[in-house]
Structure 1
Amino acid sequence: MIEGLVCDDPAVMAWADGERDRWLARAAVLDAGPAQPDWPKAVTSADKLGDLTGPQRVWLIAEGPEGPARALVAGSGDAGRHQAIDVARVAAARFEVDALRMILGYVDYHPDTMGALVLPFRSPQVALVVAGWLRHLGSARLWARLWLTRHPGCAARALLPVAAGRPGKARQQAEEALLFLAATGAGPLILTTAAGYAPELHQLATGLLEPRSPGNESTALPGVPRKGSVPQWAQPDALPEILLAGGGVMPEDEVMSLVGALTRSRLADPPEPAPGDPDPRDGGVPVAVESSAAVQPLVAPAEPEAAKLIARADPASVARFGRALLDGWLTDEMPAASAWVVLAQAHLGDEATMEQLGPLVRSWPGRSRYARAIDGFAVLATVGADAGLRHMLAMEENMTGGAMNDRALDYLRQACERRGLTVTQLADRLAITHGLDTGVTVDYGGRTFTVAVDEHLTASVVAPDGRRLARPPKPGAKDANPGAYQEFLQFKKDLRATVVARAARFQQDMHRRRLRPARDVPAVLVPHPILGPIARRLLWGEYRDGRLLRAVRIAEDGSFADIDDATAAVDGDACLGVVHPADLRGDLGTWAQIFADYEILQPFPQVHRPVVILGEEQLTATSLPGLGLGPGSAPVPAEAIEGLLSGPAWYGNGDGNTRYLHTRIHRQLAGGWTLLLELDPGMRTHSGAPDQRITEIWLDEAGSEHWQPARRIPMGACDQGVLSEALVQVHALAH
């Protein structure tokens, strides 16, 4: 450690050719709404800049008076999320170094989506920031690499003192950044820069950059941990013996070597290439990927010698050993220093281990154990056992978005891809049968009843004389196994829960437009004793490029039937999905009649579902005039609006001047859209607000703050099934 070294170089700009002009030109696409006559006056008082509304800030940064605008950005005042990347690029191009504080404020909270903003700034402060991005999974890793290779001299001067400083996270990040630079050919520059600081720093840098000779890896067993370096519950005498596959027991020194190797279990390095594009060809905003939405790393392979030890052992014994480690860690209240135990299950675990780990992983986010949950997701996906994937599928059924759910979903997708399946296909194949595929009986020891289910999956029993009974007769004194009666009642309860869950999943398939290869319907769904009866009572659709080509139902013989009730030939590679009634348009009434004629009771409302179907003119329109709820119609009770806002989907937009006055409400839709309802006169919730008129309904991009006066998005741009669900709620406000 070398103390007292400091890099105090000033921040300067280092624009690439044409870069500043391109950034400045983004002012033309900014939309702050219509400028008001009083805005210039509002920005003349420096002490009131912090009170400016979002639209005023965008206007000021893009085209307002230079003095107040420079003061705003120098004071780190940002303009919110609306077009944030372009607002910040204009600020950087217009005010250069004075905008650095504002830029760093943005990238501190959003390094993946906003990190490209630092590229033209040559600053020691930026060097320290980007050094921490090299292990990001998202676009921040790319921005860090681009900045380091663009400003190697500045990076070397800023990072060398930190790399020689106190051990810790900052030093480790600085070392990794210098090693990255050296790998790009900047090694001599780093050494020259180090010599300019002090001879001892040159010596330290030389040691850091010294190449590791290939083939110099040790072939000995993994190092035995020092006594006391692992918890007591991880010592061999506290763990079950590991049996060897060829007989005998693994010696204690080898067990300790294995534990030592397991303590170094880790996630694999971030997947390559780093995602993102700082300068798209269309000249628009950088293409960025959040770390949570990027490809997540699986568990890195075990160290070679540890893998040899595991290979010599009996698999069941190794798995039991691993579960004992997990139990010890849980009993010790999950210390972070021993969290390697979770990742080690990827090397040791079996189906039983994943059955134990799955519920734990599902519970950890709710207990704020986010890092452990990510490790658990990685283990379940790496092992890929059916038991673990069933737990991941159960989590996926209830996901509503968010960074943690994004990570879990990516791990699930990776596990599915390793089997050559989609998530939906895997869910079909892992759906439990409760034994109905092989036959279920109620055996009293002397009397046996066969369990049967009807087309609605209601279980009953068939008596020896052929009578069908809702439940078997209660056991008598001569029955050797009277507990079979309660087992049947539990079977009925479990079956009903599974039917409800599977029907809910099919309904999610409809809402989320999840598709299957057509061949899976007759090959996987129809033969399944639980999925088949549900699938037969649904209307299916053949989709191409997101558009419904035709709807079909599953006929009594398992073939497909079209709207004319004729046999429909469907190619096995075609994509089938559960149809949302909004997709059927003019055919909805005919299909509803067909299902009524065949007395098909659907597992959830589909063809008889309340629906709003837009006409051709409405689909191309950029807004709707309240769908009959606007001027000239009866107003909507404020209590009805409050009812929407109290639910999980709708939110209010507070006006910038009267904080809690909601002049519109909005709901997020799938596909990156937001549906907005304009309210007149606006309302404060829980305050006896007057009745409201919904004067306009329109779509906007989800990332916008919806300031713009112009409506640009046609109503047909979003999924019509998702839109229908929201508009049905809007219509219900008037009743």
Structure 2
Amino acid sequence: MATREPELICPDTTEMAWADGERELWASRAEALDHGREQPDWALAATSADKLANLTPQQVSWLFIKGPDASARALIAQPSLLRHRQRIDLDRVAIARFERDAYALAHHEASANADHLGLLMLPFRGPEPATLIAGWLRNLGSSRRWARLWLERHPESAARALIPAAAGRPGRARQNAGDALRHLAAIGCEPIIRKTAIEYGRSTPDLIDQLLNPAPADAPRLPEWAAPDQLPEILLAGGGIMPDDDVTALIEALSRSRLADPPEPAPGDPAPDGAGLPLTVESSAARQPLVAPPGPAAERLIARADRRSAAAFGRALLDAWLGADMPAAHAWVVPAQAHLGDDATFDRLAPLVRSWPPKGRYARAIDGFAVLATAGTDTALRHLLSIEVNMSGGPTNERAVDYLAQASARRGLSVTRLADRLTVTHGLDTGVTLDYGSRVFPVVTDDHLTVHVTAPDGRLLARPPKPGVKDTNPDAYQHFLRFRKEVRATVSAQIARFQREMLGHLLRPARDLPGVLLPHPILGPIARRLLWGEYDAENRLVRALRIAEDGSLADVNDKTAAVGGDAPLGIVHPAEVGADLGEWAQIFADYEILQPFPQVNRPAVALTEEQRAATSLAGFGPVTPDAIGEMVAGPWRGNGYHSPSHVHTQLTRDLPGELTLLVELTPGVPMSSYTAQAGEQRITEIWLDHSWSDHWQLARRIPLGAADPAALSEVLVELYALRR
């Protein structure tokens, strides 16, 4: 019996390898950290710093920056999850100060959030960093960037550390090591890999040959439910039926269907402009892969098939996979729909994609997004738009947003402009009737898009006439009721979309108004009842405009306004309009324009120039604890985790532009949900901070004018409603 060769072992240890100026840069981030007002008892608290639970987050920040050396080393030697938004700065400062002694902290943090904190591994080299980092190359977010930077920076160390894993037993570690070594070879480090392999001796050089030039993977073994005799026949485009052998070959070729390799480039910059916060992107918010093109065999066989028959075959495959309880080993069935599917397929797939995230089938939902975006038909993208709008947020929703953006860009459009073009007309642009066979009634909508049936004399009927005994198509009545319900749903969805556009400053070129919106039987009537605005390159309002009766644009003086076709137009928020808001409200009242949602008469808070330049607003009070409790139960978050007395003394609300609005409370409410016991509260100050900050600083630095006026207004209106 042949003796088993002993496993290879890398003898290296973890050590520091700073780039020029890197340590100084990381240490300089201490200036961005703040721990609030330093307390005299902190030095005493530091004596138990080996137990993070005994310290407040402010004390931890103080300890890492300038606290007693021995206490800080004791803390970073046994790291726990840091409760800091500024973890990246805190960690970099600690690593710059304590170097190799901070490795446990760096490894723990990078493992917890590789996209945002993986760059902490860059100055460390050795087997343990290499093993961790090799697993990031398949990620979509910034961690993939950190892995590449690390490998390019430490190729010799990486080769020595990863060859033993690549020669080890099958599993994730071997797969990750192989990925990393192939990346090193691709960037010109193959000589280093081969030299290191020779140093390890024995059969290692042969293993490297196999690793760098892998044989094509075998297709997965097909299950019984994917056998040709279990599926419908495929008709050929030129007539006849596809032979079973070809069907088998097609299924085997489709079994290699997958998402494409991660798009390039990997996002992330560890030191933009040489300083500041690193640019990082979570995997869920990075550019997502579409479905990879079919292989030559699949492409050739699909080209021979009748299109509708191939799509029906694909749906049968999908149903068989669902009936087998969606085995992950055969999840290729979902991306295969991008090669076979038609609009009927996407109508079948979309409800499934909607249902998968609540059931924990996130990977399958992402496959479904990729199919819809890759197919790119109007039907597929309508489904993707609807799915994204109705999701509740989170990483899966971020992926849907990216797929929408990619699909829109492939048509040369923004998501907003794509949505305009894909809004269904329900046939209202070509004419709709209630047709009973013997009697036909034209169907119309009024200015508010209410559906009506007209009598032969042109009168709008309060109710649609019911079918009579002489009518040959009585089912038309139920069809009409469904039609009316569908139109109502579309109108509601588009009104909600336009309101989101107002709040989110989503713009379109002015030429889309007469070219796309106004001719549309649903979008046009909604657009005509809104106040629009022309914006500059900085997204600032130039002037407000309304759509006149002839489709032209009119200014506040009711004079025709010439606007270039490329000028950005958007639905204005009243907080942007300024002193003209009252006149616009009067104009809309004079013309009896009933708006689809509150706009010119919407409650708004428009800051004065003095307030925009200020760094805070005065508070008010008293405020009931129940009102504070409702805020925390809603979109506001308590920021009391750093409070020794376990009360929320700050409430926070995220704003666009990576800003946060903060409300200072006194005396504060308990961190539990039981706020009634807190007694009356007073809001002492309202101010802005960066969203990445821990909000402990004593000085206010950001003027309120830096916030988006619409978003700030919406939050201040909600806040001021608490005043008695």
1:722 aligns with: 711
Q: Specify the code of the residue in structure 1 equivalent to 2:566.
A: D
Q: Which amino acid aligns with 1:574?
A: A
Q: Is the 8 A contact 1:459 1:470 kept in 2?
A: no
| Per-residue deviation, 1:246 | 1.3
Q: CA deviation at 1:331?
A: 1.3
Q: Is the 8 A contact 1:2 1:165 kept in 2?
A: no
- What is the Cα-based RMSD across aligned positions, in Å? 1.8
Instruction: Map 1:611-630 onto structure 2 (within 5 A).
Output: 611-626=604-619, 629=620
Matched residue, 1:176: 179
Measured after TM superposition, the shift of residue 501 of structure 1 is 1.0
2:535 aligned counterpart, secondary structure: strand
> What pairs up with 1:170-249 in 2 under 5 angstroms?
170-210=173-213, 229-249=221-241
Residue 318 of structure 1 pairs with residue 327 of structure 2: no
- Map 1:564-603 to 2 at 5 A: 564-603=557-596
Counterpart in 2 of 1:710? Answer: 699
Structure 2 match to 1:439: 431
d(CA) in 2 for partners of 1:540 and 1:520?
Answer: 13
What letter matches 1:411 in structure 2?
Y
Once the two structures are overlaid, the 10-residue window that deviates more, 163-172 or 38-47, is 38-47
TM-score by length of 1: 0.94
Instruction: Give the partner amino acid of 1:690.
Output: G
Measured in 1, the distance between the counterparts of 2:5 and 2:174 equals 12
The C-alpha deviation readout for 1:3-59, integer Å capped at 9, x for no partner, is: 532224211111122222222222232212222111111102345443211111111
Residues 272-671 of structure 1 mapped to structure 2, 5 A cutoff: 272-399=264-391, 401-544=393-536, 545-626=538-619, 629=620, 634-647=621-634, 649-658=635-644, 660-671=646-657
Counterparts of 1:17-36 in structure 2 under 5 Å?
17-36=20-39
Query: Which range moved further: 487-496 or 332-341?
Result: 487-496
Aligned to 2:15: 12
CA distance in structure 1 between the aligned counterparts of 2:71 and 2:80, rounded to whole angstroms: 11
Asked whether the 8 Å contact 2:665–2:683 carries over to 1, the reply is yes
2:164 and 2:584 map into 1 onto residues whose CA distance is 73
Once the two structures are superposed, what CA deviation does each residue of 1:279-311 show, in whole Å capped at 9, x if it has no partner? Answer: 322422322222222211111111112111111
1:672 to 2:658 alignment: yes
Partners in 2 of 1:682 and 1:410 — Cα distance?
A: 40
1:94, distance to aligned residue in structure 2 (A): 1.2
SS at match of 1:417: helix
Residue 136 of structure 2 is aligned to residue 125 of structure 1? no
The 2-side partners of 1:650 and 1:263 are apart by 47
Give how far 1:703 is off.
Answer: 2.1
Q: Find the aligned partners of 1:354 and 1:575 in 2 and give their Cα distance.
A: 33
User: 1:688 corresponds to which residue?
Assistant: 677
Mapped partners of 1:360, 1:71: distance in 2: 52
Q: Distance in 2 between matches of 1:141 and 1:366?
A: 28
Counterpart secondary structure, 1:445: coil
Q: Which moved more, 1:722-731 or 1:32-41?
A: 32-41
**Secondary structure, in 3 states, of the residue corresponding to 2:192?**
helix
Alpha-carbon distance in 1 for matches of 2:108, 2:361:
27
SS at structure 2 position matched to 1:625: strand
Letter in 1 for 2:277: V
Q: 1: CA distance between counterparts of 2:368 and 2:723?
A: 48
Whole-angstrom CA distance in 2 between matches of 1:655 and 1:160: 45
Rounded to whole Å, the distance in 2 between the matches of 1:469 and 1:62 is: 76
- What secondary structure does 1:666 align onto? strand
CA distance in 2, matches of 1:661, 1:49: 19
* 8 Å contact from structure 1 (residues 354, 380) kept in 2: yes
Is it true that 1:72 corresponds to 2:75 in the alignment? yes
Determine if contact 1:107/1:114 at 8 Å carries over to the other structure.
Answer: yes
Separation in 1, partners of 2:512, 2:187: 49
Matched residue type, 1:175: G
What CA distance in whole angstroms lies between the structure 2 residues aligned with 1:367 and 1:529?
38
Are the aligned partners of 2:79 and 2:108 in contact in 1 as well (CA < 8 Å)? yes
Task: Confirm or deny: 8 A CA contact 1:130 1:144 kept in the other structure.
Answer: yes
Secondary structure of the residue aligned to 2:203 is: helix
State the alpha-carbon separation in 2 of the partners of residues 207 and 333 from structure 1.
36
Residues 76 and 99 of structure 1 are in contact (CA less than 8 Å); yes or no, is this contact kept in structure 2?
no
Cα separation, 2, equivalents of 1:136 and 1:655 = 32
Deviation at 1:396, TM superposition (A): 2.7
Counterpart residue type for residue 478 of structure 1: K
Moved more, 271-280 or 617-626: 271-280
Structure 1 residues not aligned, in runs of 5+: none
* Residues 1:210 and 1:515: Cα distance change in structure 2 (over 3 Å): closer
1:164 is aligned to 2:150: no
Q: Which amino acid aligns with 1:56?
A: Q
Shift in Å at residue 205 of structure 1?
2.1
Offset from partner CA, 1:239-272 (integer Å, 9 cap, x none): 1111111111111111111111111111111112
CA distance in 2: counterparts of 1:87 and 1:357, whole angstroms: 46
3-state secondary structure, aligned to 2:661: strand
**3-state secondary structure, aligned to 1:281:** helix
Indicate the SS of the match to 1:675: strand
Counterpart AA for 2:656: A
User: Hey, what's the Cα distance between the residues in 1 that align with 2:394 and 2:84?
Assistant: 17
Letter in 2 for 1:74: A
Q: Deviations over 1:545-588 (max 9, x none)?
A: 11000011111111111100111111111111011000001111
* CA distance in structure 2 between the aligned counterparts of 1:294 and 1:47, rounded to whole angstroms: 37
> How far off its partner does 1:655 sit?
4.4
Please report how far the alpha carbon of residue 388 of structure 1 lies from its aligned counterpart in structure 2 after TM superposition: 1.3
Cα distance per residue 1:506-536 (max 9 Å; x no partner) = 1001011100111111111111111111111
Greater mean alpha carbon deviation, residues 496-505 or residues 397-406: 397-406
Change over 3 Å in CA distance of 1:295–1:104 after alignment to 2: same
Q: Distance in 2 between matches of 1:353 and 1:164?
A: 45
Shift of 1:660: 4.3
Distance 1:653 1:28 in 2: 22
Contact 2:92 2:120 in 1 (8 A): yes
User: Aligned equivalents of 1:656 and 1:239: distance in 2?
Assistant: 61
Runs of 4+ in 1 over 6 A off after TM superposition: none
Whether contact under 8 Å (2:452, 2:462) holds in the other structure is yes
Residues 43 and 49 of structure 1 are in contact (CA less than 8 Å); yes or no, is this contact kept in structure 2?
A: no
Tell me the residue number matched to 2:96: 93
Q: Residue 401 of structure 2 aligns to which amino acid in structure 1?
A: L
Q: Is 1:731–2:720 an aligned residue pair?
A: yes
The Cα shift of 1:399 comes to 4.8
Over the matched positions of the two proteins, sequence identity in percent amounts to 61
| Secondary structure at 1:654 match in 2 | coil
Name stretches of at least 5 consecutive residues in structure 2 with no aligned partner.
none
Q: 1:72 to 1:281 in 2, by over 3 A?
A: same
Q: Which amino acid aligns with 2:649?
A: T
